[in-house]
Structure 1
Amino acid sequence: MSDLRVHLVPSFHYDVEYLLAEGPYLEICFQNLLEAHRLLSTYPQYTFRVEQTYLLERFLQEYPSLSDDLRRFARQGRLEVASGMYTMADLNMPSGESIVRQLVVGKRLCGRLLGVEPFVLDAGDCTGHPAQMPQIARICGYRYYTFQRAVDNVGRKCEIIWRGIDGTEVPTYWLAVIGYAGWYDVGRDDVRVLEELLGRLNEHCLSPEGILSHGGDFKYPYERGIEVLSRWNEERETKIIYSTYGRALEAIDFSGAPVEECEWNPDRQGCYSSRIRVKQGNRECEGLLFCAEAVSALARWLLRVPPDEDGLLRAWKLTFINQFHDIIWGTVCDEAYRHALERIGRVRMICEGIIEDRLRLPAGDGEERRVVAFNPLPWPRRCWLEVPVGMPSPEDEVVGPSGSPCPAVLSGDKLSWRAELPPCGYSSFILRRVGKPETRGDGSFKVKFVETDSGYAPEVTTPLYHVEFSPGGTIASLRDLRSGKEFVDPERPAFNVLCLQSDRGDLWQYYEGPLHDGGPQGFAQDLIYDPYPSGPSFTSNGKRIYLDVIDNRDGPQAEFGVEEESEWRLVLRISGSLVRRFPSFREFWNEGIRVDWSQRVVFYRDDPTVEFRLETHHVAGRWYRLRAAFFTDIR
C-alpha cells in the first residue's frame, strides 16, 4: 500500500427528488455548497466536485455574488463538475438523443457558469451502463468515464478500457470502494477508517494512483478531514491528496487496463416498470420535443419563422429533470411523483403550443376547414389520421394535397382517413361536407361468432388475414392469407395476452422482496431471469405459492363488439376482467385482486398493420404487476 497515492475527491451525492421533494433537498444542498465555498476560500489545497449542472445552476441563481469565486476555483482546477450532465440521468430508459442532449446542455452550461467544461462523465449512481456510452461520451467531448453500480465482478480492478459497440474506447474507472461515498464522517476514528478503505482500494488498483470519494448522500463538507490528512501525510508513506476526478484520471496509468467489450447491466430491474406513467411520460416528452424541433426547423426554412429556442430549452430541461435516475425509476415519494407528472404536463403544453403555432401558418385562414399533418421522421409514412368533426353537420369528405379525395371513414363524431405524409414534411387536407351517409362496410371484412366448450369468440376474415380469437379475448391464430404464414406460436397459441403476477418486491426490486442494499455485492449486476411464467411457483417444500400467475388465455369470458366497420378498416372492442379471489378463511389477510381491461384491435383492408391499444383499470387488490405478451413463432 506504500506505493499508492490516493486522490481524495470531496463531494456529496445530490438527488433532485427522492425521499423528499425538490425544495427541501435544495436547501440542504445550498448549505453544503456554501460550506464548500468557505473551505475552498480558506484552504488552498482543498478541492470539491459538484455532481450535476442543474444544482450549480440553481445555486448561482440564489447566490450570484459567489459566481466569480467559483469561476476562479474552477480555473485553478480545484472545483469541477462531473458528470456534467444536466442531471445524473438513468442511462437505460431515456433515448440516446436525450442522453446526448443531457451532456451537451450540461457541458455548455458549465462553460457559461464556470468558464471551463467537464471532461469526466461520472455515472456513479446509475443502475446500468449501455454499450453505446463510450461512443456517446467521446462524441460529446468527454475523455473519461466513471461508474459504481452494475459491475460484473466485484473483485475486478478499477482501471478499464471500455470499448463500445462501434469500437470507440474510453478510459473507465470503477469506483470500487463505497462508490461515490468513500470516506465521510461516520462517528468513528478517522485514521482507522482511512486505513481500512485504503487497504481495500489497494486490492483493486493496477496503477499507483487511486481514487477515493469523500462524501455521500447530501453529506456536509468535512472540515476536520483537512487536519486528519495533514497528520496522515506526515506520518505515513502512502500519500492522500485532495483532488478532482479529472486531475486523478489524468494521473492514472491505463496502459495495463484490460479492454472490455460489454455493457454493465442491470441493477435493480424492478425500477424499469415502477410508476409506469413517468416512463410513458418521458417517451411522450421525447417525441413531442423531436416533433417540435423538426416543425420549427421546417417553419424557419419555408416561412422564415424563428424557432422558440428558449421554450424548447425549457422543455428539454424539464424532461432532463424527470430523467434523473430516482425520478424516472419511480423510486420517489408521492409528492415527487406528482411533481414529475406536472413537468410532463408542462412539456406537453410548451411543445404542443410550438407545433400548433407553426402548423397553423401553412393551414391558412380560409373558410374551408383545413388539417395539416406533420411527419417528423426522415422517411415517408402511410397512416390513418383521426379528428373530431363539426356538429351538427359533420364533414364527411377529405381532399388530399393532390386535390383527390382520400379514403375516409365517418364514425360517430370522428372522421378518419388514410394519409400519405412526406419525410420530415407536412401534408394539408381539406374537410368538406358532401352529405354522405355514415360509412358502412362493403363486405371486405367478415365477422362471425363461434361457440366453443369454454365460451364464444369471433373469427375475423380480412383481405389480408384470417384471425381467430379465444373466449378470453386473446388471438389464437393470425394467418396471412397470401402466404399461409401463421404468426401465432402453435405451442402457445395466444397474441395480446394480459398476465397478472404477484409481486412482493418494492419500487427497486422484482418479486423477491424489498431491497437490502448492503455488502460488497450491493453494486453488482442483478440480472433476474424473468421469462413469461407458465404457472404458479411454489416454495421448496411445494406447499406454498410464492409467485401466483393468472392470464386471460383460458378466460374468463370476454365481451366482444364491432366498434367500426367500413370498406377500409375494422375495429373490434374487447373487454374483460382479471380476478383472483382468496376464499379460504386462512388467507383472510390477502385481499382479492381485480383488474378490468379494455382493448381496441384494428385491421386494415390493404395495410398489414394490426393495431392494439390496451387500457387497464385497477379495481381492487395489491402486490401485483401486469405484463402483455405476444407468443409468435417468428424465429
Structure 2
Amino acid sequence: MSKLTVHYVAHTHYDAEVFLTRDETFEIGYSVLLGALAAMREDPQFKFALDQTCYIEPFLRTYPEERPFFEQVIAEGRMEITCGMYAMPDVNIPSGESFIRQVISGKSWCQEELGLEVRCGWLLDTFGQHPQIPQLMAKCGFDHNVFQRLGTLDGHTEYWWKGLDGTELFCHWMRSTYCILYPAPTNLHEFKKFVDARLGELKQHALTPNLLAVSGADLTHIQPHVTRIFEEHNTAYDDIEFIVSTPKEYFDKVKGLVEFPVWEGDLNPVFQGCYSARIAVKQWNRKVETELLIAEMADAIAALLGNPSQAKLIKQAWEPVLFNQFHDIICGSHVDKVYVNTMDRFKSSHVQASQCLEGSLDAIVDAVDTTGEGTPIVVFNTLSWERDDVAECRVGYSEKDVFEIEVRDSQGNLVVSDLLSCERYETGGIKRATVLFIAKGVPSAGYEVYRVLRASSSLAPTTLQTNQSSVWMADIHRDIIENEFFKLEIDAWNGAIKSLVNKTNGWEVIPEDKPFGATVVKELDNGNFWEYNGHCKGDALFPMNRDHPLPAEGDSRAAFSHHYGGDGRVSRGRARMDYNINFVFGKGHFATRIRLYSGLPRIDVHTTLINNDERVRYRMALPTTLKEGVITQEIPFGAIERPKGEFPAQNWMDYSDDEKGIAVLNRGLPGNNVDGETLFLSLLKCTALKEGYGEGSGGFSSSTKTTDGYEIGIPHQFDYAFAPHTGDWKEAQLYRRGLEFNQPLIVLKAESHTGKLPSRQSLYAVCAENVVISAIRHTPNGTVVRLYEAEGKATTNVQLSSAFPIASAQETNLIEAEAVDAHIEDGSVTFDIGAFEIKTFVLRSV
C-alpha cells in the first residue's frame, strides 16, 4: 500500500447523562466546546466534529455571543455537525418510530437554525445495531454511518451494509474505538511510539491508504497541540502523513477509491445486561412512546374533523423521551441520580401525552353519533386492522335498582362481559362497577360505539371452562382453565404451568420432564449494569453473545418460583378467567396472574416481584417440547432469525418449526432468549457499581450512589403473554399480536348525542394484511401516514384508504422530504412495497 494518510477527527463523546446529571454534564460540555472554538480561533488548521442537538442547542442558547463564530467555522468546513439526532440513541430498545423522531428533531433543528443538512450518521457508541438501520438511515437522508463496538472481528474498516430490505449503507467501523489518538503525547519521540502502537489495527483492515482516526474520549477536552506534533511528524517521517480533518473530508476522499465489500447481518448483541438493568426505564419508554404515537394519531384525526392541532404540544412531550433514549440512559448503565431524573422526565411526558390524547379523543367522540339506550361506550382501535380484544370501563348508577348489566355492540349484539369489581347499594343494586368485555371486530384505525345497559334475561355465550367450582375448590392440586384455543393445567400450589395444550392442533407445549412453564428463576449475577456475571468490557468492539441456559433445579446459585408455594385460586368469569397466586420467594415476594379470555388466542400473564437480594437476576422460563425450532425476534419495522443467546427484541419473540410454535409477547421487556428448547424473558437485573467503573472516566466517581440498582424492596410489575400457534410466525401474524398486546383498545364513555360520524367507522385501512400502519401524524403539509411490510414479502397494488377523502398524496422519505407524487386510484393511495420496506405518504384531504 502507498503512503498512508491519517485523517485525525477531533471530537468529544458527549455522554448526555450517565455518571453526571444533565446539568452537570452541560458544565463540562460547554467548557469543551468553548475550548474547541478557542482552538479554531487560534489555529486555522484545527477542526472539530460535533454531535447531538440536545448538546448544541442549549450551548448556543447559553452562549449566544459565540454563535457568529460557531456558524463561521461551519461555513468554512472546519466544524462538522454529525449524528443529526436529538440524542445518540440506543436503536434496539426504542421503537423504529422513535428513531425517526430522533432524526426529525435533530435534522430539522440543524436545518432551521443553522441552514445545515446533516449527512453523516454518527452512532458512535450505540450498543448494537439491527439490520433495518441501513434503510432507516438512508431514508432519513444519511450518506454513511460511523460507529464502534460492531462488526465481524476480521472484517474491513469500510463496507456497504446491506439491510433487511436490500438498502445498502456505506459504513465505517472504528476498529480501535473513538479515542484512538487520545490522549496524544506532546513530544515527537513519545508520539511516534504511541501512533505505531495505535495504528496497527487500522492499517491491517484498511482497503485504502486513508485511515480515519476519530479521537476524543467521554467528555474530554480537545488537543490543540496535535497540529504542531503532526507537522513535526510529517517533516521527520515519510511513511504516514497526519492531517486534521472532518468526517466529510474523509468520506469524500475514500468513497469510490476501491470496490468495498457488501456485508449482511445483525450487529447484536452488545452488553446483554443492559436489556434488564434498571428495567423500569425500558417499561416506561415503551409505555410513553406508545402513548405519544397514539396521541399523534388521535390529534391527526381530530384536526381532520376541524379541531385545532396539538402537534406542538406533542412534539414538546417527545423531547424528554428522546433524551431518555440516549444509549446509556435507556440501557440502564447510569447512576442513581440520573435514574431519578429519567423517571421524572418519563412521567412528565406521560402526563402531557395523556392530556393531548384525552383532548383529541373528546373531540372525536363529540363528532360521533352516540344516541341510543344505556351508557354509550366508544371503543377505539389504534391499529390498522379490524380486531377482537378486551376492553374495560367504569360505570356508576344513582338508581338503586340496576342489579345486573350487559354490553351490546353498535348493532345491538350482546357481547360477553364480566364485572371485575362492583360496589352495591344496600338494595343489591350496582352503585359503581368496572366492566370487562370482549369487543369483536373493532374497525381498523377506527372506533365502535358499545352500550352498557340493564341486563336482560339472556347471557352472551362463553368458551371459558374450569375444573373448579364457583363455590368451593373441587381439586386442591390442579387448576384447569381453558377457552376454545388453549387448555392450561396449573399447579395449584405454586403457579407453574404443568400442561399447555394448543387445542387447534393438539400440541402439548410443556415437556413432562420440565412441568414448570412460566416459572421465574432467580440467579446469582455478579455482573454490573452492562453484563451478566461479568464486568463491562467497555472497549469491546464486536458483538458478544454469551450463553445463558436454564440452570439445573439443584443449582445452588439459582432458585425457582415453583420450588416455593402459596394458595393458588381460579377466579371464574364469562369474559375472562384468572388463576392467581402469591407467596414469599426467598427474601422477596412473588405474585402472578394467568388470564384467558373468551374468544382471544392469547394467554396474558401479570407478574409482581419484590427483590431483597444484591447481585441477582430474574428470568421467566417456559420450557417447550419443540426440538430444533427456529428463533425469530421482532426488530424495528421487521423480524429476523437469531441464534440462541439473549438479544434485544421489540414486541415479540417466536420459537417454531413449519407446523407449530409459541411466541412470547412483552411490554417493555427487551431481553429475549431461547436456549435448549426453553424460552426466556429477562425481567429484572439487580446490580450496582460498588466495585467502581473507572475513576474520573466520563465523570464517574466511586462516591456517586448506584445502589438503587439493587432494586431492594421495590415492587416491579411485568406484563407478558404467550401465543401458541400453528405454522410459523408469519402465518400466526405475530407482528399483529405484539402490537395488540402493546396497544390495548381505548375506551371512552360518552354522553348520548347526535354526530356527523356514524356509530362504527374505520378511519384508515390497508388492504394487504402484511402491511402495517406505524404512524399517523398531523403536519402543516398534510397528514403523514407511515407503513411497513411486516413479513418479508414484496406486495403489489397495496391500497391505503381513509374515511377522509384524499385529494392528493405524495410519497416522501422518512423525514418527510424529497416528495414525489403518489398514485391515487378510486380514492385510495395505491403502491407497491418491497420486503420489509418502510414507506411514508403525506395525504391532503378534500
Give the alignment's TM-score, normalised by structure 2.
0.67
TM-superposed deviation, 1:480 = 4.1
| 1:4 correspondence with 2:4 | yes
| 1:182 correspondence with 2:181 | yes
| 1:292 correspondence with 2:295 | yes
Find the aligned partners of 1:10 and 1:227 in 2 and give their Cα distance. Answer: 14
Match of 1:248 among 250, 258, 261: 250
* Counterpart position of 1:418: 438
TM-superposed deviation, 1:299 = 1.1
Question: 2:568 is paired with a residue of what secondary structure?
Answer: strand
TM-superposed deviation, 1:178 = 3.2
- Residues 516 and 604 of structure 1, relative CA distance in 2, 3 Å threshold: closer
* Counterpart position of 2:747: none
| 1:167 correspondence with 2:169 | no
Letter in 2 for 1:222: Q
Find the aligned partners of 2:463 and 2:261 in 1 and give their Cα distance. Answer: 66
Contact kept in structure 1, 2:415 and 2:460, CA below 8 Å: no
* Counterpart position of 1:409: 418
TM alignment of 1:386-535, pairs within 5 A: 386-390=392-396, 396-412=405-421, 413-420=433-440, 421-432=442-453, 434=454, 445-448=465-468, 456-470=477-491, 471-481=493-503, 483-511=505-533, 513-517=534-538, 522-535=540-553
TM alignment of 1:189-208, pairs within 5 A: 189-208=190-209
Find the aligned partners of 1:612 and 1:56 in 2 and give their Cα distance. Answer: 44
- Residues 58 and 77 of structure 1, relative CA distance in 2, 3 Å threshold: same
Match of 1:624 among 598, 616, 631: 616
Letter in 2 for 1:478: L
| 1:266 correspondence with 2:269 | yes
Contact kept in structure 2, 1:191 and 1:228, CA below 8 Å: no
- Residues 234 and 527 of structure 1, relative CA distance in 2, 3 Å threshold: same
TM alignment of 1:19-168, pairs within 5 A: 19-153=19-153, 155-168=154-167
TM-superposed deviation, 1:128 = 0.7
Find the aligned partners of 1:441 and 1:598 in 2 and give their Cα distance. Answer: 31
Contact kept in structure 2, 1:70 and 1:114, CA below 8 Å: no
Contact kept in structure 1, 2:307 and 2:363, CA below 8 Å: no
The count of aligned residue pairs is 599
- Residues 411 and 201 of structure 1, relative CA distance in 2, 3 Å threshold: closer
Contact kept in structure 2, 1:51 and 1:81, CA below 8 Å: yes
Greater displacement, 206-215 / 95-104: 95-104
Aligned-CA RMSD value: 2.8
Find the aligned partners of 1:361 and 1:399 in 2 and give their Cα distance. Answer: 24
Identity of aligned residues (%): 27
Structure (1/2) with the larger strand percentage: 2
* Counterpart position of 1:550: 559
Letter in 2 for 1:81: I
TM-superposed deviation, 1:349 = 0.9
- Residues 63 and 609 of structure 1, relative CA distance in 2, 3 Å threshold: same
Question: 2:545 is paired with a residue of what secondary structure?
Answer: coil
Contact kept in structure 2, 1:478 and 1:488, CA below 8 Å: yes
Letter in 2 for 1:390: G
TM alignment of 1:214-225, pairs within 5 A: 214-225=215-226
Letter in 2 for 1:30: Y
Question: 2:212 is paired with a residue of what secondary structure?
Answer: strand
Greater displacement, 422-431 / 376-385: 422-431
Greater displacement, 236-245 / 463-472: 463-472
TM-superposed deviation, 1:192 = 3.8
Letter in 2 for 1:125: D
Letter in 1 for 2:233: W
Structure (1/2) with the larger helix percentage: 1
Can you list the C-alpha shifts for 1:434-453, whole angstroms capped at 9, x where unaligned?
A: 2789x9998952333576xx
Contact kept in structure 2, 1:67 and 1:113, CA below 8 Å: no
Can you list the C-alpha shifts for 1:113-133, whole angstroms capped at 9, x where unaligned?
A: 321122111212112121121
TM-superposed deviation, 1:32 = 1.0
* Counterpart position of 2:591: 598
Find the aligned partners of 1:143 and 1:5 in 2 and give their Cα distance. Answer: 22
- Residues 55 and 631 of structure 1, relative CA distance in 2, 3 Å threshold: same
TM alignment of 1:281-320, pairs within 5 A: 281-301=284-304, 303-320=305-322
Find the aligned partners of 2:40 and 2:411 in 1 and give their Cα distance. Answer: 69
Greater displacement, 263-272 / 185-194: 185-194
* Counterpart position of 1:588: none
- Residues 362 and 316 of structure 1, relative CA distance in 2, 3 Å threshold: closer
Can you list the C-alpha shifts for 1:348-407, whole angstroms capped at 9, x where unaligned?
A: 111111111111123349997543332221111211111233266678343433344443
Contact kept in structure 1, 2:19 and 2:335, CA below 8 Å: yes
- Residues 4 and 491 of structure 1, relative CA distance in 2, 3 Å threshold: same
Question: 1:176 is paired with a residue of what secondary structure?
Answer: coil
Structure 1 gap ranges (5+): 538-544, 580-593
- Residues 397 and 171 of structure 1, relative CA distance in 2, 3 Å threshold: same
Find the aligned partners of 1:168 and 1:443 in 2 and give their Cα distance. Answer: 47
Letter in 2 for 1:346: S
Letter in 1 for 2:39: L
Question: 1:202 is paired with a residue of what secondary structure?
Answer: helix
* Counterpart position of 1:582: none
Match of 2:364 among 362, 387, 407: 362
Give the alignment's TM-score, normalised by structure 1.
0.88
Contact kept in structure 1, 2:160 and 2:170, CA below 8 Å: yes
Greater displacement, 323-332 / 605-614: 605-614
- Residues 304 and 601 of structure 1, relative CA distance in 2, 3 Å threshold: same
TM-superposed deviation, 1:336 = 0.3
Question: 1:501 is paired with a residue of what secondary structure?
Answer: strand
Find the aligned partners of 2:411 and 2:463 in 1 and give their Cα distance. Answer: 29
Letter in 1 for 2:300: A
TM-superposed deviation, 1:33 = 0.9
Contact kept in structure 2, 1:71 and 1:113, CA below 8 Å: no
* Counterpart position of 1:576: 583
- Residues 32 and 443 of structure 1, relative CA distance in 2, 3 Å threshold: closer
Match of 1:351 among 315, 334, 353: 353
Find the aligned partners of 2:13 and 2:350 in 1 and give their Cα distance. Answer: 30
TM-superposed deviation, 1:292 = 0.8
TM-superposed deviation, 1:138 = 0.8
Structure 2 gap ranges (5+): 422-432, 627-656, 658-846
Letter in 2 for 1:58: P
- Residues 469 and 49 of structure 1, relative CA distance in 2, 3 Å threshold: same
Greater displacement, 495-504 / 357-366: 357-366
TM-superposed deviation, 1:416 = 1.3
TM-superposed deviation, 1:73 = 1.9
Match of 2:604 among 598, 608, 611: 611
